Structure 1
Amino acid sequence: MKAVIQKRYGGTETLELREVPVPVPRKGEVLVRVRAAGIDRGTVHLMTGLPLVMRLVVGLRGPRQPIPGRDLAGTVEAVGEGVTRFAVGDAVYGTGHGSLAELTRAPQDRLAAKPASLSFEQAAAVPVSALTALQALRNAGRVAPGQRVLVIGASGGVGSYAVQLAKAFGAEVTGVCSTTKVDLVRSLGADHVVDYTRSDLAERAHEYDLVLDIAGNRPVRRLRRLLTPTGTLVIVGGEGGDRWTGGMQRQLGAVALSPFVRHRLAMLFSRENSADLVTLADLADRGAFRPAIDRTFDLDAAAKALHHLEAGHTRGKVVVQVA
């Protein structure tokens, strides 16, 4: 089978398309024939091996998982021992062990039936980013109907879902983005859109019950000024910082400060699970959200897809068509 392989950390020059053996599903896993694979900022971090602290988990000198990518949508090709939730031929979506390949292993507890209303390409854009948005709003943010929610980074992969899901939960949503992406964020259903290149967020002091800062680098003290006296700040990911910890210092500092202030300050590490994938499939089939897909690439252009994402100009999600 064909797969994108990476043996060392670096840029897109480290990726190459090769013929590799077909993987065999282990206990509790299924073998998925990948129809489409989504990529996100996490895929870029795993490619570059930055921040360096992550290499303690994913491999010191090179990635332990040589095939990049996690998001996928496809059909079940075979099932491993103990698999009871899926059968050969089922259309599924979720996360697997290297989705930039024609076939990949995936744990059954990280898969769900593909939303009937979404194509394979659309479904592949959902898992990691939409799970993160859902858990940031519901679990960490405790969003409630009628609240005023600010989404910083509203045009990205996670942000595009956060805007739509916050609206589905009954919130009044303000999205923050750059000039070229204002139309996208407005089309996602945001009640208000702020172009950060033309407006200063500091002018909106004490307005929001919940602020989601997605992959940003604004100081926590500035973000707190946007909150109502008992509002909540959720930091989702983070860019910038040093090579060792990246944006994690800001997140950890916010969590350490939280017990001493009236604001709730939280960070999020999303958890991939089938229950939330089922929830998202139901929301999609009820029309609560639609994936915003920026561009689609073929498998042999996966390096170009990652370069496009790394450049930071994407509007929503980037998808690789495999089959």
Structure 2
Amino acid sequence: MKAIVYKQYGPPDVLKLTEVDKPVPEDHEVLVKIHATSVNFGNLVLLKGEPFLARFAFGLLKPKYPIPGGDIAGQVEAVGKNVKEFQPGDAVFADLSGCGWGGYAEYVAIPEQTVVLKPANLSFEEAAAVPMAGVTALQAIRDKGKIQAGQKVLIYGASGGVGTFAVQLAKAYGAEVTGVCSTRNLDILRSIGADHVIDYKKEDFTKRHQQYDLILGVNGSHPITAYKRVLSPNGIFVHVGGSGTQMFQAMVLGPWISMTSKKKMSTFLQRANQQDLIYLKELLETGQVKPVIDRCYKLNEVHEAFKYFSEGHAQGKVVLTV
């Protein structure tokens, strides 16, 4: 089969389209013929081996997982003898970040407990845009952010992959949502339900008098003390992504702020979870959440896809068709 393989950390040029052995599913595995996959921030971490601490999980000197790719959508081609829930022909989607990656390929064999039936109302490309970004937004808002109906929620970096899901999920939980993005993305946030939008090029939200019960920092470079200023007295800030300096502050200063005040500042890493993906499937099928896709590339255009994604201006998700 064809797959994108890399043997060293570096820029997108280290990714090579090559022929590798087609996997054979073990007794508890499902063999999926992949129709679409996508690009996430986690893929950039795997590609570059940065930040350096990530190499302790992904390979210190060279990549531990030669085929990248976390999100997939496709059809079941074969199942192991112990698989109970799936059969050949089923349309499915999955997050492979917890089971060895491998989504940038024509086929993948993965444990049954990572697989979920694809939402019937989504194309394979739309379904492939969901798993990592959608579950990241869900876990950050629900588990770390402890969201409640009626709360005022601000999402910084609201127009990217995680951000567009976060806006819609916060609305599904009954919150009043403010999205922060650049000028060209304001209409996208309005179209997915944001109650208020702030153009960060024209206004600094940290200098407003408005306070928020939950702030999700998906992208940006503000010091976390700036976020603290606009948190309500019992508010929660969740750092999902941003500059290296901001990540360091969230990891080091965040616990201190949390211990010395009622405001909570935390950082967060997504964990692949089948039950969370099933929950998202239900929201997708009822139309409460929908993926926002900026561009679709072919698998052999992976260099262009990564270069575009790396610029940091994608409106929603960047998808690869296989």
Q: Give the TM interval when normalised to the shorter protein.
A: over 0.9
**CA contact 1:205–1:225 (8 Å) conserved in 2:** no
Q: Does 1:100 align with 2:104?
A: yes
Higher mean alpha-carbon deviation, 145-154 vs 183-192, is at 183-192
SS in 1 for 2:244: coil
Structure 1 residue 29, shift from structure 2 partner? 2.2
**CA contact 1:235–1:251 (8 Å) conserved in 2:** no
**Cα distance in 2 between the residues matched to 1:226 and 1:81:** 55
| Residue aligning to 1:321 | 321
- Within the candidate set 202, 205, 218, 1:214 is matched to 218
| Residue aligning to 1:166 | 170
**Cα distance in 2 between the residues matched to 1:158 and 1:255:** 24
**Cα distance in 1 between the residues matched to 2:11 and 2:86:** 36
How many aligned positions are there?
Answer: 318
Kindly report which structure 2 residues correspond to 1:254-265, keeping only aligned pairs within 5 A, or say none. 254-265=254-265
Structure 1 residue 27, shift from structure 2 partner? 4.5
Q: TM-score, normalised by structure 1?
A: 0.95
Structure 1 runs of 4+ with >6 Å offset: none
**CA contact 1:224–1:233 (8 Å) conserved in 2:** yes
**Cα distance in 1 between the residues matched to 2:228 and 2:269:** 20
Q: Does 1:229 align with 2:243?
A: no
Q: TM-score, normalised by structure 2?
A: 0.95
**CA contact 1:71–1:127 (8 Å) conserved in 2:** yes
Distance 1:56 1:249, change over 3 A: farther
**Cα distance in 1 between the residues matched to 2:195 and 2:49:** 38
**Cα distance in 2 between the residues matched to 1:61 and 1:83:** 36
Task: Tell me the amino acid that sits aligned with residue 321 of structure 2.
Answer: Q
Q: Does 1:8 align with 2:8?
A: yes
Task: Tell me the amino acid that sits aligned with residue 19 of structure 2.
Answer: E
| Residue aligning to 1:266 | 266
Distance 1:171 1:19, change over 3 A: same
Unaligned runs of 5+ in 2: none
**Cα distance in 2 between the residues matched to 1:202 and 1:286:** 35
Percent identity, aligned pairs only, is 45
**CA contact 1:232–1:263 (8 Å) conserved in 2:** yes
SS in 2 for 1:176: strand
**CA contact 2:221–2:243 (8 Å) conserved in 1:** yes
| Residue aligning to 1:127 | 131
| Residue aligning to 1:47 | 47
Task: Tell me the amino acid that sits aligned with residue 79 of structure 2.
Answer: V
Distance 1:286 1:194, change over 3 A: same
SS in 2 for 1:104: strand
**Cα distance in 2 between the residues matched to 1:71 and 1:248:** 27
Structure 1 residue 248, shift from structure 2 partner? 4.2
Task: Tell me the amino acid that sits aligned with residue 260 of structure 2.
Answer: F
**Cα distance in 2 between the residues matched to 1:248 and 1:27:** 43
Structure 1 residue 104, shift from structure 2 partner? 1.1
| Residue aligning to 2:37 | 37
**Could you give the per-residue CA deviations for residues 166-196 of structure 1, whole angstroms, max 9, x where no partner exists?**
1111111000001121111111110100001
**CA contact 2:284–2:290 (8 Å) conserved in 1:** yes
**Cα distance in 2 between the residues matched to 1:303 and 1:112:** 29
**CA contact 1:8–1:62 (8 Å) conserved in 2:** yes
Distance 1:24 1:142, change over 3 A: same
SS in 2 for 1:231: strand
SS in 2 for 1:247: helix
Unaligned runs of 5+ in 1: none
| Residue aligning to 1:78 | 78
| Residue aligning to 2:250 | 250
